Copies of this chain bind each other. A is one copy, B any other.
Amino acid sequence: MSMMNLNKLIKPSTVAIVGASESAGFGGDTTKNYLKFSENLDKLYLINPKRETIFGHKAYKSLLEVEGDIDLVIICTPQSTIIPLLREASEKNCGGAVVFASGYSEVGEEGRIKQQELIEEADRLGIAVMGPNCAGFANYINGIFAFAFLVEERERKGNIGFISQSGQIILSGLDSPNMGFSYCISSGNSCNVKVEDYLDFLVDDEDTKVVAAYMEGVTKPAQLIETLKKAANKKKPIIILKTGKSDKSQQLAASHTGSLSGSDKVLRAVFKHYGVIEADDLEELCGAAAAFSWIDKLPEGGKTVFMNVSGGEAGVTADLADEFGIELAEYKQETKEYLMSLLPEYGSVNNPFDMTAGIGYNTPVLCEAIRTISKDENVDAICLAYTITPEIWDDTIAHMVEAVKITREEGNIKPVFWMPFIEHTRHLESANTLKDAGVPLLPTGKYACEIMKKIFDFSVFEFEDLGAAIPENVHNNTFALSEYESLCYLRDKGVNVPAMEVALTPEEAVVKAESLSYPLSVKVNSRDIMHKSDVGGVKLNIKNEEGLNKAFEDIIDSCSSKVPGAKIEGVLLKPMLEPGVEMIIGVNNDKDFGPTIMIGMGGVFVELFKDVQLSPAPLTKSKAMSMIQKLKAYPLLNGYRGSKVCNTDALAELLVKISEVAANGKDTIKEMDINPVFVTEKGVSIADGLLIVYED
**A interface residues, Cβ below 8 angstroms from B:** 106-108, 111, 149-152, 154, 164-169, 171-177, 214, 216, 241, 243-246, 248-249, 251-253, 255-257, 280-284, 286, 309-316, 318-323, 328, 344-346, 348, 350-352, 354, 387, 389-394, 421-423, 425-426, 443-447, 603-604, 607-609, 611, 632-633, 635-636, 640-641
Contact = CB atoms under 8 A, between A and B. Distances in A.
B281 A216 contact: no
A312 B421 contact: no
Given A445-B282, A603-B641, A312 B174 contact: no
B252 A636 contact: no
B446 A280 contact: yes
B168 A312 contact: yes
B246 A152 contact: no
Contacts of A392: 149-152, 171, 174-175
Q: Which of A244, A316, A633, A641 has the most CB of B within 10 A?
A: A316
A201 B249 CA distance: 46
Contacts of A611: 609
Given A284-B446, A609-B611, 11 more contacts: A108-B345, A177-B423, A246-B321, A248-B350, A252-B311, A252-B350, A280-B319, A281-B316, A282-B444, A608-B632, A609-B632
A171 B309 CA distance: 12
Contacts of A172: 387, 389, 421-422
Contact of A243 (B286, B312, B446): B312
19 contacts: A106-B311, A166-B312, A167-B310, A168-B313, A169-B313, A174-B392, A175-B389, A246-B319, A248-B318, A248-B322, A248-B351, A249-B318, A281-B445, A282-B316, A282-B444, A423-B423, A443-B444, A604-B640, A608-B633
Contacts of A176: 422-423
Contacts of A169: 310, 312-313, 316, 421
Contact of A391 (B167, B175, B241, B423): B175
Q: Which 4 A-B pairs have the closest CB atoms?
A: A166-B312, A107-B346, A168-B310, A243-B315
A320 B246 CA distance: 9
A423 B421 contact: no
Contact of A281 (B171, B248, B252, B444): B444
Contacts of A171: 387, 389, 392, 394
A198 to B, nearest CB: 15
A399 to B, nearest CB: 14
A350 B251 contact: yes
A152 B251 CA distance: 49
Contact of A423 (B107, B244, B283, B603): B283
Contacts of A446: 280-281, 283-284, 446-447
A106 B343 CA distance: 14
B348 A255 contact: yes
Q: Which of A168, A443, A635 has the most CB of B within 10 A?
A: A168
Contacts of A245: 319, 322-323
B281 A318 contact: no
Nearest to A309: B168
B312 A390 contact: no
Nearest to A175: B389
Given A251-B350, A280-B319, A392-B152, A175 B422 contact: yes
B246 A422 contact: no
Given A168-B312, A641-B603, A322 B246 contact: yes
Contact of A175 (B216, B282, B313, B390): B390
A429 to B, nearest CB: 15
B154 A391 contact: yes
A320 B281 contact: yes
Contacts of A309: 168
Q: Which of A280, A311, A425 has the most CB of B within 10 A?
A: A311
Nearest to A610: B632
A165 B311 CA distance: 10
B322 A111 contact: no
A680 B111 CA distance: 60
A249 B315 contact: yes
Contact of A636 (B246, B445, B604): B604
Contact of A111 (B154, B168, B244, B346): B346
Q: Which of A175, A352, A609 has the most CB of B within 10 A?
A: A175
A179 B251 CA distance: 38
A171 B389 CA distance: 8
A636 B607 CA distance: 11
Contacts of A314: 249, 252, 256
Contacts of A319: 243-246, 249, 280-281
Q: Which of A281, A315, A390 has the most CB of B within 10 A?
A: A315
A258 B604 CA distance: 45
A332 B616 CA distance: 43
B423 A165 contact: no
A444 B166 CA distance: 18
Given A280-B446, A316-B249, A151 B391 contact: yes
A233 B447 CA distance: 35
A281 B248 CA distance: 29
A318 B254 CA distance: 13
Contacts of A108: 345-346
Contacts of A608: 632-633, 635-636, 640
A444 B283 contact: yes
A233 to B, nearest CB: 30
A241 B241 CA distance: 30
Contacts of A443: 423, 444
A243 to B, nearest CB: 3
A587 B105 CA distance: 61
A216 to B, nearest CB: 6
A393 B311 CA distance: 41
B252 A354 contact: yes
Given A169-B312, A392-B151, A443-B423, A318 B246 contact: yes
A249 B166 CA distance: 42
A256 B346 CA distance: 10
Contacts of A111: 346
Nearest to A310: B168
A130 B608 CA distance: 51
A328 B251 CA distance: 14
Contacts of A632: 608-609
